[in-house]
A and B are shown apart, each in its own frame.
Chain A
């Protein structure tokens, strides 16, 4: 729970023809995180083609499922085998054919829709041209000296097209607009008409074909339009039948294709990390939990019948940055994990801060927001909204419970300080003691983070940093010594001399380390060492004082309640009640929110930043697609 599970680097060499089944077996095993395979003897990449075909097929399947709807739950039998490259190619070709058929069907429907809207526009045009009292038959005469086009183009292009056409003596007259399309008549000398064809095509001009029927009597034109509409309705019905037919015809096989692609996914995904091979051999590399090695062997034996070779080794020192971290958490701790991961993933071997985070976060929240009534409200609200909150409900419940516990310690219930006697202390009556306890907690917290950092640096092989850096043992010695001197000075302890020696040794160690680490000229080196050593001291103490906010917020809580009571006392009975209720809501929402953020801030900035690199890699195992 405090560290990532020990992993082993494995290399599985098998027949290339069985690579897809091996990957599927590893995905079913569920605890194999693929990693790039770096064996010089196996310089080829045998799964690249497989991944490429799978990606194409998967893209086509996804489009088909979007167009035709889901094919139902996916139930992959345990005995099912992954498809070979040839099988996958066959599925891919079939999906391509189906998509083309489906795409044609869609295209057909889109064209019908376009013709329909065109007919609508034609009808409008007819109505407008009728109103203009223009003889279309005369206007559109093919043997006229005047060439006339009626059609539409994007409204944004109209100005530019008009200017360009003016260069050839053509006129543009706009007579309607529908959406972003402008309907216009273009007229010019027929002798120069060829000059504008390219321009009109480039500008997206769409000719409005005026059929012979429309050039006749308006009534005849309308009859033609209605006939065309009826024809489109028939075509549309036929298109729907074709689409439904496609769904019925291909549905079952589409489901089968989906299954085969799901079975092929492990090798395709592992190929992204890199599978190497040579001749008829392929090698898969990656990480598994050390304690699962025998189980993996048994699984591979059952599936590959000993036609494989499995090599395993412990992570090497230069591997550490690449080793993923597999963390296992008990159910009650899982809700806190996203809060830790929002800062980063623990590096392999590093201390996982989830458990100390959960404990300290709750303690800080309770200390800053200690009130039986407010805590109970948070607890009950969390339970009431359990479904919406999901796992976060446990954070709310625990925060409420801890707030209630500190409420008992402080003797505070909905801001009333005189109902229950405090079990421990009352922040309002003993503020100095609260401040002292907060700072003492801060000292303890910072000592913990420094120790955690020493551990993490040591595990990562950075021994010098672990011993001598400002967040290492030397920094810790200085910090403890300085705290001892201050405690002796205030009369709490009597360890002034040994504490001063410890602090001096610590800061000298830090300064020596900084001097050694700085690569520069003498003056700059001196300056950097001096400033960084001073910064070490200042940071440690400013971070400690930062914990005074814990006391400040516990006092703030009481002060806010007092303000609410003062306001309520000036009002009549009804006003008094309303003010108390609203005041408590404000305290819970506003102060509760601020305290939750402040506790998180203390954890991130005073805690994690000192020992938690957060640049680890999450353990992402190969998995098979579930329904």
Chain B
């Protein structure tokens, strides 16, 4: 099955089938209200066998420590299926999209080394990447300290990202520097991987990337500038270089402003309308994520090229899974249904 037309038809069909698994708000509502013994069955019915596996039907006790891992394994399983017929830039892009989870493993390894955790405990916390894994976690977990770990990472597939983080860490010995450098390095890599696809696939794909990177830049800008109180120049440096709605010149202007309200007031009219009345950074994130989900849903339901639809599906699926995680955690902690609903803070993703 190497015929491009057949591959394209396969992926289109597969995405359409997967799209049926997305969770409308009523499904989450149902999950909040279900009795414990019915949860696993419901999760399986929604194509979430990995999550159902961690849910004990007998007494409702759930392995919350591994919930995050199970969610990511579920996402990776589906990505593996979607990636199967792809080749070239599209395949490289989706593979790099999964590297976010490996970056998260890198951060876990670094933090664990800073606190001197045991290798076995570190390994248990890492996300099992399966065939997407490019790091030798066993070897890395046995590094003696942060310095040795960084050197080993620099000899691996993420050398360019890690080198930048190491230099930043050497200068400041601040874990924030490491995290910020890793995050920025990853998303700049993602923008580079997306560029050839934006040229060939066009607007539907570009709109998804623009929503993602603009949201990240705006939220990081607000957080670094007003929560961490970093100087404007450093804030600008830590943002992701991009060519979307918030290009470099615009980010420089925004970083130089002195209050969140001023920043939100300086955004273009469409965003201002959307974010009017928003008071804190999590709310900005939630509203922008909502906007991104609406756009992803539009792309998914359109006749856009299959890679754009696949990417839109993955964005929506992850959003759903985060919501399921919130519900399951809430249930596990015995929270009231209304508190779980509040924790979801999920605007409607359905198009009117």
Give the distance to chain B from A334, nearest Cβ to Cβ, in Å: 32
Report how far A470 CA is from B123 CA in the complex, Å: 48
Q: How many residues of B contact A (CB 8 A)?
A: 32
Which B residue sits closest to A199, measured CB to CB? B234
- When the two chains form their complex, are residues B171 and A167 in contact, meaning their CB atoms are under 8 A apart? no
B343 within 8 Å of A (CB atoms): no
Give the distance to chain B from A582, nearest Cβ to Cβ, in Å: 36
A124 within 8 Å of B (CB atoms): no
Partner of A199, one of B120, B181, B233: B233
Q: Which residues in A have their C-beta under 8 angstroms from that of B144?
A: 60, 96, 99-100, 103
Q: Which residues in B have their C-beta under 8 angstroms from that of A195?
A: 231-234
B180 within 8 Å of A (CB atoms): yes
- When the two chains form their complex, are residues A168 and B237 in contact, meaning their CB atoms are under 8 A apart? no
- When the two chains form their complex, are residues B168 and A202 in contact, meaning their CB atoms are under 8 A apart? yes
- When the two chains form their complex, are residues B142 and A164 in contact, meaning their CB atoms are under 8 A apart? no
- When the two chains form their complex, are residues A55 and B168 in contact, meaning their CB atoms are under 8 A apart? no
Report how far A205 CA is from B181 CA in the complex, Å: 13
Report how far A154 CA is from B163 CA in the complex, Å: 10
B139 within 8 Å of A (CB atoms): yes
Partner of B233, one of A99, A157, A168, A206: A168
Report how far A519 CA is from B41 CA in the complex, Å: 22
- When the two chains form their complex, are residues A55 and B120 in contact, meaning their CB atoms are under 8 A apart? yes
Q: Which residues in A have their C-beta under 8 angstroms from that of B167?
A: 154, 203-204, 206
- When the two chains form their complex, are residues A202 and B233 in contact, meaning their CB atoms are under 8 A apart? no
A39 within 8 Å of B (CB atoms): no
A107 within 8 Å of B (CB atoms): yes
B238 within 8 Å of A (CB atoms): yes
B103 within 8 Å of A (CB atoms): no
A201 within 8 Å of B (CB atoms): yes
- When the two chains form their complex, are residues A201 and B177 in contact, meaning their CB atoms are under 8 A apart? yes
- When the two chains form their complex, are residues B168 and A167 in contact, meaning their CB atoms are under 8 A apart? no
Give the distance to chain A from B227, nearest Cβ to Cβ, in Å: 15
Q: How large is the interface on A (under 10, 10 to 19, 20 to 34, 35 or more residues)?
A: 20 to 34
- When the two chains form their complex, are residues B139 and A59 in contact, meaning their CB atoms are under 8 A apart? yes
- When the two chains form their complex, are residues B171 and A205 in contact, meaning their CB atoms are under 8 A apart? yes
- When the two chains form their complex, are residues A203 and B168 in contact, meaning their CB atoms are under 8 A apart? yes
- When the two chains form their complex, are residues B233 and A201 in contact, meaning their CB atoms are under 8 A apart? no
B204 within 8 Å of A (CB atoms): no
Contact flag A202-B238 (CB < 8 Å), given A165-B233, A167-B252, A195-B231: yes
- When the two chains form their complex, are residues B237 and A160 in contact, meaning their CB atoms are under 8 A apart? yes
- When the two chains form their complex, are residues B237 and A164 in contact, meaning their CB atoms are under 8 A apart? yes
CB neighbors of B among A154-201 (8 A): 154, 157, 160-161, 163-165, 167-168, 195-196, 198-201
- When the two chains form their complex, are residues B171 and A204 in contact, meaning their CB atoms are under 8 A apart? yes
Contact flag A167-B120 (CB < 8 Å), given A55-B142, A205-B171: no
Give the distance to chain B from A592, nearest Cβ to Cβ, in Å: 29
- When the two chains form their complex, are residues A202 and B231 in contact, meaning their CB atoms are under 8 A apart? no
B230 within 8 Å of A (CB atoms): yes
A52 within 8 Å of B (CB atoms): yes
Contact flag A103-B234 (CB < 8 Å), given A59-B142, A154-B167: no
Give the distance to chain B from A379, nearest Cβ to Cβ, in Å: 39
Report how far A149 CA is from B241 CA in the complex, Å: 25
A56 within 8 Å of B (CB atoms): yes
- When the two chains form their complex, are residues A167 and B232 in contact, meaning their CB atoms are under 8 A apart? yes
Report how far A206 CA is from B118 CA in the complex, Å: 33
Contact flag A167-B255 (CB < 8 Å), given A195-B231, A198-B234, A202-B177: yes
Q: Which residues in A have their C-beta under 8 angstroms from that of B148?
A: 103
A–B pairs, 14, beta carbons within 8 Å: A55-B138, A59-B142, A103-B144, A160-B241, A164-B236, A164-B252, A165-B233, A195-B234, A199-B233, A199-B237, A202-B181, A202-B238, A204-B164, A206-B171
Residues of B in contact with A (beta carbons under 8 Å apart):
118-120, 138-139, 142, 144, 147-148, 163-164, 167-168, 170-172, 177, 180-181, 230-234, 236-238, 241, 248, 252, 255-256
Residues of A in contact with B (beta carbons under 8 Å apart):
52, 55-56, 59-60, 96, 99-100, 103, 107, 154, 157, 160-161, 163-165, 167-168, 195-196, 198-206
The 9 closest A-B pairs by CB, nearest first: A204-B167, A59-B142, A201-B171, A199-B234, A164-B237, A195-B231, A164-B233, A201-B172, A52-B120
